[in-house]
Amino acid sequence: MLVSATEMLNKAKAGKYAVGQFNINNLEWTKAVLITAKENKSPVILGVSEGAGKYMGGYDTIVGMVKGLIKDLDIDVPVALHLDHGSYEHAKLCIEAGFSSVMFDGSHYSIEENIAKTTELVAYAHSKGVSIEAEVGSIGGEEDGVVGKGEVADAKECKMIADLGVDMLAAGIGNIHGKYPDNWTGLDFKALDEIQKLTGTLPLVLHGGTGISEAMIKESISLGVSKINVNTECQLTFAAATRKYIEEGKDLSGKGFDPRKLLAPGYEAIKNTVKEKMDLFGSIGKA
């Protein structure tokens, strides 16, 4: 069954490790993440952007697929199904569809409007047993049409949002979506430390986990980050493995490519990437 992310993240915060959120885009992707979590006894969060939700046929379809895989694959670790960078409207839709966790990204609103919308969604999510993530200070880069300038969040505004009762908080600290440019100056740990001091035991979220060095990941976890999002790295490894398979022509026949064989290398690549990240985040064996 699906669970909210609250308990797993509270345990991660107390235990000084992070739970990985791995964004999913199809059945193979989802199966790879779930199987890897089971094999490594790690809690896991399946992230779904609005764009991915549309691509996969809608939120009801995704809930049915994930629940079916959990049952048929006998997944025995905590799994949260989470809307990533959701709008106000889509956060509600996902709660109604059966997601166990949602993110409302109100970082592009004024702090007053962000507070007002977050307050309403916290009440609605919690009435359904759903965990909720909020954001202060937009994350840089672009992901599925959501564009952020890479702001460093104001610690006092973070506390204002934290005090609304959210279960986790994404705070911009110089992190970006996608691949990091060569001139990237790194994460602002001074800002992260200040945010943690004001928000206390609330789990913090690091978006843009691809391309951040091992040292910075560990430093982030030591300063309160309990959830780390990984998307781009999975996309790159999946695409590279699939492209290599096609270029080598391993499945060429008079009938063309068997889609089950075509996507198998990408499936294995996702599993390897997820395991590496779980090991780095320290979540292996924590289920």
Which residues are catalytic, by number? 84
Helix (H, G, I), strand (E, B) or coil at 148: strand
The 3-state secondary structure of 20-85 reads: EEEECCCHHHHHHHHHHHHHCCCCEEEEEEHHHHHHCCCHHHHHHHHHHHHHHCCCCCCEEEEEEE
Strands 141-143 and 146-148: antiparallel
Nearest to 162 by CA among 207, 113, 204, 110: 204
CA 92, CA 272: separation in Å to the nearest integer? 34
